[in-house]
Structure 1
């Protein structure tokens, strides 16, 4: 496959997108079914065209076609096949093709699985989605051609960024982009609803699966990126409030609020305008993240700060997409009829408070992320906003959120009896207080925040399990009856329970790693050792090892701990300090052994300057950090479990098929 084929496919996709963005929308406005029907085949054709382009680009990387400029700049004949493939999106041009590919994938999915949608809503939704494609396809073709040739071609490529040559970073961008771009279809549904002037329970039912799917992928993408930073960068942390981390976190926060708000629209026909606004803001934050990463405002392994003119183009797209949708919202929102009334203490009231806290938290992260960039752009100097700011602003907002979540699932719709609610939660409250007191006794002298978080985590777990027990009447009915009720519970209910438990597990990991982490940094020679958190780390030696396109200094640590029969071997850790000859860059490869309750983490750095034969060694004891990844995975599984519920599955209710009437033959 030649690169020109890929470029032609992108141009053809742009032409199809122009048809998809105009003909069905005009047909919906004029009530012409034939015109509206164009949306489905156009969406599928657009996906196929971009798939041809993306496949062509990947093939160029696999065969090391160094006549293609992006291949020459981001690949090498010696790197493993996995990183040749992932190198296709490890750069600005290729990542834009991946972005558009996922965008068209969601459009094609609506065309294939949304055939029970009202024709006008489907046509308008796919039309809005097509205009998003037009913006990014034109940006890719005009400013970021991934198939540009270079002559004469180099004998070999410049290699992929060493930090990206890792399985975590191979799968992190596709996951993250699927989450980012997945919210585009929710945005398209919101704009289409504004154009029609109608938002009802059926609309919320159609939107929820797409929101849930995007949320699951974004959760997985953020978790993968955090895990990669934890074991690859060698600094012993899993989150640093880096601007690039934050721009993926903001859509997740607002998307979580959207997911809960859509439930109120579906169940109670309320919060319509607010839900539409959240849908617009969620995708808008994804677009803002794209601008920040690709505009040259920041320099990061995640960013593509190569051409500020590209940032100007994306800024124009942002102005049209965000400004246009908010203007439409301002004009059309007043026509959306408000839904049913509800008391402050109710399921609806709890979800509103949940939304307000999540939106405020997202605004806090937004200010902390973009304020330094705006201040520097205006000539106000460079300032740094880091963990201390977020610990004082973001973290306190999460405490009442967890408090509400512990009781939220037990609240009835419309109006709740507060005394009765507290009565049902008395066991959860007692367990939470007991857990906090035990933590206070065990960790005497520990700051108060970890103690409070311990109580809140137990409160969330106990409250969530109490709600499930209430549903199945556990201990209040015969076990056979409870088992029958448990089997009949919808999967969406189980999904909510699992997701809330996953959040509790993840918070436990965050609190443990953030509050009880221990570390030691020493210059050690082979034969010397470090004692940390009850473990003995013996530095055995350093040897040179050869990789496919790197060489490394590999240290060996023998980790033991006291036992009844003397020192017991726990594990052997072999961290590496890699050197990539083509790019002349070094990376660290941490060695990690997990016990389930803690990680033993070792990093070998540069040779010590003032001690011959010694190496700078960093040893970390990371309590509870494995729970963070388990919790994130559990949240994602909870979302997928909900998505598997037939009532929420894309395709909505299955139409009943009537049996054909029996006709007697004429005599």
Structure 2
């Protein structure tokens, strides 16, 4: 009965979404306030109905109702309870239901917290959001119904993919979808503005918080996915330039450009046309990522589906929304005002520079991702575009951008003083030069690129703090006054500093682990030892450890330095009988910001020894710590009252009440 209620709620949500897609926009065209208000009610109702459907599917998983085909294919009664919950979105049908749930959630947020938006703009935004929701609800109901029944019901399920039975996959998809789908709000605002013909600084102020929320979650989602692949797959890498990894990275690059472009539009009423185009392109890249994962055009550990018929449906959605949005943009762009003028050397100019390189980097990743697929379609030839291509193209594009990052906040609006900004960055330059010289001395002058990378990382770290230090005026006003000035700065200033500082932290981790990691591959039996980075790793014993739905072969290691035991660690191979699959559970010891990483390979022919891969990864955790700094910076910016939706309007109302 619960399953039927969920299915009915999903069908009913499609009906409500159709109402939401038509009536508010029709009311905006006629100026009918009652019709426009239907958008608020419908958006809230859609979210409630889809939440009921999602809860029904989750209940089916938790209770192991194998009469549901989706539950039978992706769950098992012996699974831990946590993975029964996460199995709900650990498959194509369930993950699409989560996708539309988050889409409806954002629509409901606009309906409930967009009270200060102009009525016509809000109505149009909710209608455009409903167009997207309707398309994906149709996709689910027609091609990916998660509530399909089996008769007779099997006694046991086929288990969740063992690779997905991990806490990282409990967190990674929801965060990633909150980022992916969150950009739909920016898209809806852009289309609504093009329909309404009103694009100004107020529009940018309204759209920036929604974009910032999506960017925060996408940053955390990508970071969590990277760390999951690092420790779960046993390969020791943190980024592979996998097409599906790229599919989430491209909207992140475009979304970062959109945030900075919207700032220029809000402050200076400039870059209006470009900001609208970026809002369209960012969500278009999110849709492209959905297509790549679910179309069957590529094979990846991240891919959910391999059914081409589903891919055709999503491709139709992709063409309709991207093509329609670009056609509307082409029709309306000539009627839009370009915005204010500014000198090339200014904060606006720095943000344009930022946009230029971020969008070029996104285009480079897009070409490298799609070129093999297009070539195979056109010629039948299969090629692989991997890390060497992206390292040689993406890296050089990003270097000028990273160098310019500390200058941006130090330049004035409209016209800036480049020499003055450079003078304030003397300390950052000294830090970068000291790091460069230190690495050259440490490596004997043989690793120039490594030294340059460390110098660039310290340039970012020190340069990002320079703006706060300068605005506090510690040297001129003294430490007590400077501290008071520092605490009085708007939260967005701290947000910018934290985000840029986090970028430097991540770069420091990338350069360090790429340049100085050590690797040992050896065959070991109990009692054998291996040396790496001054540590002695001793293989103590191997034991069988049964799990709830797997059998584990765990190897126990002792780590010594100078004869002193530093730690003990386990690395294991898990065999899942139902799926007949084996996974690797890496042993990881974190020492400071560095990690010792041990992964088990295949046993030898005589079963007396096993292949062991050992890595020493210096400062590797900084890669993910930096992304947390970025996300926290986004939260600080979001907490700034000036960037919250409707804050200026509420301020005017309070002033009016006080005057009355």
TM-score (norm 2): 0.98
Aligned residue for 1:424?
424
In the TM superposition, residue 100 of structure 1 has moved relative to its aligned partner by 0.2
Determine whether 1:3 maps to 2:41. Answer: no
Rounded to whole Å, the distance in 2 between the matches of 1:505 and 1:551 is 39
Determine whether 1:605 maps to 2:601. Answer: yes
Query: What aligned pairs does 1:246-645 form with structure 2 within 5 A after superposition?
Result: 246-562=246-562, 567-609=563-605, 612-645=607-640
Partner deviation per Cα, 1:86-140 (whole Å, 9 max, x = no partner): 1011111101100000000000000111100000000000000000000000000
2:542 counterpart SS class: strand
In the TM superposition, residue 306 of structure 1 has moved relative to its aligned partner by 3.1
Rounded to whole Å, the distance in 2 between the matches of 1:219 and 1:660 is 41
Cα 1:442–1:143 change in 2 (3 A) is: same
8 A Cα contact 1:411 1:421, kept in partner: yes
Aligned residue for 1:148?
148
Aligned residue for 2:167?
167
Rounded to whole Å, the distance in 1 between the matches of 2:553 and 2:601 is 9
Rounded to whole Å, the distance in 2 between the matches of 1:483 and 1:612 is 65
Aligned residue for 2:216?
216
Aligned residues: 657
Partner deviation per Cα, 1:193-245 (whole Å, 9 max, x = no partner): 11111211110000010000000000000000000000000011100000110
Aligned residue for 2:135?
135
8 A Cα contact 1:299 1:305, kept in partner: no
Deviates more, 1:375-384 or 1:552-561: 375-384
Rounded to whole Å, the distance in 1 between the matches of 2:330 and 2:270 is 18
Rounded to whole Å, the distance in 2 between the matches of 1:537 and 1:137 is 54
Query: What aligned pairs does 1:8-19 form with structure 2 within 5 A after superposition?
Result: 8-19=8-19
Determine whether 1:27 maps to 2:27. Answer: yes
In the TM superposition, residue 446 of structure 1 has moved relative to its aligned partner by 4.2
In the TM superposition, residue 445 of structure 1 has moved relative to its aligned partner by 5.0
8 A Cα contact 2:205 2:645, kept in partner: no
8 A Cα contact 1:518 1:621, kept in partner: yes
8 A Cα contact 1:298 1:305, kept in partner: no
Rounded to whole Å, the distance in 1 between the matches of 2:378 and 2:170 is 37
8 A Cα contact 2:182 2:211, kept in partner: yes
Question: What root-mean-square deviation, in Å, do the aligned CA atoms of Structure 1 and Structure 2 show?
Answer: 1.3
Partner deviation per Cα, 1:368-417 (whole Å, 9 max, x = no partner): 11111111122341111111101110011111111110211111111112
In the TM superposition, residue 476 of structure 1 has moved relative to its aligned partner by 1.4
2:565 counterpart SS class: strand
1:475 counterpart SS class: helix
8 A Cα contact 2:297 2:306, kept in partner: no
Aligned residue for 1:38?
38
In the TM superposition, residue 659 of structure 1 has moved relative to its aligned partner by 5.4
2:228 counterpart SS class: helix
Query: What aligned pairs does 1:95-110 form with structure 2 within 5 A after superposition?
Result: 95-110=95-110
8 A Cα contact 1:74 1:161, kept in partner: yes
8 A Cα contact 1:206 1:652, kept in partner: no
8 A Cα contact 2:242 2:300, kept in partner: no
8 A Cα contact 2:183 2:211, kept in partner: yes
Rounded to whole Å, the distance in 2 between the matches of 1:292 and 1:178 is 18
Rounded to whole Å, the distance in 2 between the matches of 1:408 and 1:630 is 23
Partner deviation per Cα, 1:301-330 (whole Å, 9 max, x = no partner): 221233110100001001110000000000
8 A Cα contact 1:409 1:467, kept in partner: yes
Rounded to whole Å, the distance in 1 between the matches of 2:194 and 2:443 is 54
TM-score (norm 1): 0.97
8 A Cα contact 2:106 2:185, kept in partner: yes
Aligned residue for 1:665?
none
8 A Cα contact 1:61 1:84, kept in partner: yes
Cα 1:299–1:185 change in 2 (3 A) is: same
8 A Cα contact 1:537 1:560, kept in partner: yes
Rounded to whole Å, the distance in 2 between the matches of 1:140 and 1:312 is 13
8 A Cα contact 2:506 2:622, kept in partner: yes
In the TM superposition, residue 550 of structure 1 has moved relative to its aligned partner by 0.6
Rounded to whole Å, the distance in 2 between the matches of 1:410 and 1:76 is 57
Cα 1:9–1:227 change in 2 (3 A) is: same
Rounded to whole Å, the distance in 2 between the matches of 1:661 and 1:177 is 45
Deviates more, 1:207-216 or 1:455-464: 455-464
Cα 1:46–1:555 change in 2 (3 A) is: same
In the TM superposition, residue 612 of structure 1 has moved relative to its aligned partner by 4.8
8 A Cα contact 1:578 1:586, kept in partner: yes
8 A Cα contact 2:588 2:598, kept in partner: yes
In the TM superposition, residue 479 of structure 1 has moved relative to its aligned partner by 2.1
Cα 1:488–1:660 change in 2 (3 A) is: closer
Rounded to whole Å, the distance in 2 between the matches of 1:379 and 1:418 is 51
8 A Cα contact 1:297 1:305, kept in partner: no
The structure with the largest helix share of the pair is 2
Rounded to whole Å, the distance in 2 between the matches of 1:29 and 1:370 is 40
